[in-house]
Amino acid sequence: MNTLTVKAPAKINLTLDVLRRREDGYHEVEMVMTTVDLADRIELTSLDRPVIRIESNNGYLPLDDSNHAWQAARKLQERYAPEKGVQIYINKQIPMSAGLAGGSSDAAAVLRGLNRLWELNCSMEELAEIGAEIGSDVPFCVYGGTALASGRGEKLEFLPAPPSCWVVLAKPRAGVSTKDIYNRLKLHTMAHPDTAGMIQSLKQQDFYGICSRLQNVMEPATFSLEPEVKVIKERLQQYGADGVVMSGSGPTVFALAKSESRADRLYNGLKGFMDHVYVVRMMGMRHEL
């Protein structure tokens, strides 16, 4: 096997809660995450010398050691295969800096793909541990599926996949700094999500229970920095979304729709003034090695 293609799906946050600032400088979080069928495609080609090269269809993507996919390949190379190399081609479909974990999912796809391509026989747990050294979303992206993530995001408790539905993703042009968002959080006064209720709704496959419990404590801070994000959320609500919330630290907002016709109406309502609007399906199932 010399070439392998791996899918790297986006994630969305059904809930996102920030509990406290930790002594190590990170924040203690609690969030329910799941995957959707908007994905990058990662093509891995073995090389006969120990180099790591990255190419992409996206001219804005860094192709050096700041790229999470490059870091994932280097960690596997250093630990298990110092004599091996790889050419990585990233077909970028997930918008960048969007709150959808595109870079983390690319890294996770490289970990899973090189595990097969280089015949390393690592377990998912081993790959997730390596992924945690790259970024807090990478362990979840290694496994995929639906999970409650806690700690910095690396502690995972797996949950049933959400019921089948449509997801409309809308990303404005404006970007946001996750660091700036965290600095604006009011930890002592924020309203926290009903995380336990969301978990129960997933277990009961209660679509409308899920929609009613969508919540992200980062929304007020992001809205204050980029008011356009709030406008997008309000428009999706006005157009009849079953549930709407921002993903991650933003700026992407997503809406859930039970019917395809409602999803199409949401899409058409936004497409006229936004470049990045997508209608995709919920995935929520875990990856296999």
Distance CA 43, CA 217 (A): 36
User: Of 17, 40, 106, 137, which one is the catalytic site residue?
Assistant: 137
Tokens representing 140 are 């979840």
Residue type, 95: P
- CB neighbourhood size of 263 (10 A): 22
Contact 203, 196 (CB under 8 A): no
Rounded Cα distance, 16 and 28, in Å: 11
d(CA 262, CA 205): 20
92 is catalytic: no
Which of 215, 160, 165 lies closest to 31 in space, CA to CA? Answer: 215
Cβ burial 224-248 (10 Å sphere, 16+ → b, else e):
ebbeebbebbebbeebebbbbbbbb
Active site residue 37: no
* Residues marked as catalytic: 11, 137
